[in-house]
Amino acid sequence: MYCTKVKCCLLPLHSRSDAKTLTANAAAKQHNRIVYSSQAIHHVAHQIASLYWTAVSYEVQSQAGFAKGVEKTTDLSKHIYRHLRERLASLDQQRQRRQRRLDQLRHLHRLLEPFGNPQTDIQPNLVTRDGDLAQELERMRMLVARVGGRISQQEPRERVQGEEQYLLPGSDQKLDALMDLDV
């Protein structure tokens, strides 16, 4: 039970108004519990009962249709199951093949990452046409041509007895091809 009596004379003015409000609220709560509690409980119980009986009557009506029995037809569930199982197995194989291919491509991509920016990652003289390596090859080509020209201008010396010249078979042809002479 709520205490409805508060000594108002001992409290300050704002506390007195709060005390009166508390007293009124307590009285309203007690009244609501006494009057409305049985009505609310009765109403909820009535709703539950009506919903239950509606559901039970629907089940009884639907079971009447099953009382006749199930029609006998061709059992397709095994055929459908087998078909779906085969399809699932083939899809799994496809997925595994594609996963292996994806792993392979990812591995190749990781291997090619260092070559992503060839201007900075690879030696610049190998990348550009006018790099240091190309200039050095051009100098070597000119030097070989000059040396080859000078050798061809010299008169053949007579061999001194005891001095033998040893040449590999086909070395003359290779030398001519190297110096760009017509064979």
Domain extents for the chain?
Answer: 1-65, 77-115, 119-152
SS3 of 42-56: HHHHHHHHHHHHHHH
More confident call, 168 vs 5: 168
**Amino acid letter, 44:** V
The model's confidence at residue 19, banded by pLDDT at 50, 70 and 90, is confident
- pLDDT (tens digit per residue) in 102-148: 999 999 999 988 888 776 766 665 656 777 777 888 899 999 999 98
**Amino acid letter, 28:** A
The model's confidence at residue 2, banded by pLDDT at 50, 70 and 90, is very low
More confident call, 3 vs 128: 128
SS3 of 6-64: CCCCCCCHHHHHHHHHHHHHHHHHHHHHHHHHHHHHHHHHHHHHHHHHHHHHHHHHHHH
For the chain, percent of residues with pLDDT exceeding 90: 23
The model's confidence at residue 93, banded by pLDDT at 50, 70 and 90, is very high
Q: Give residue 133's pLDDT.
A: 75
Cβ atoms of 141 and 180 closer than 8 Å: no
**Amino acid letter, 143:** L
Buried/exposed code over 12-46 (b: 16+ C-beta within 10 A; e: otherwise): eeeeeeeeeeebeeeeeeeeeeeeeeeeeeeeeee
- pLDDT (tens digit per residue) in 50-79: 888 888 777 776 666 565 665 666 677 888
Is 88 strand, coil or helix?
Answer: helix
Cβ atoms of 115 and 122 closer than 8 Å: yes
CA distance 138 to 125: 14
Structure tokens at 106: 């990812």
The model's confidence at residue 85, banded by pLDDT at 50, 70 and 90, is very high
Alpha-carbon distance values, 11 to 14, 18, 25, 106 (Å): 8, 10, 19, 82
CA distance 122 to 116: 9
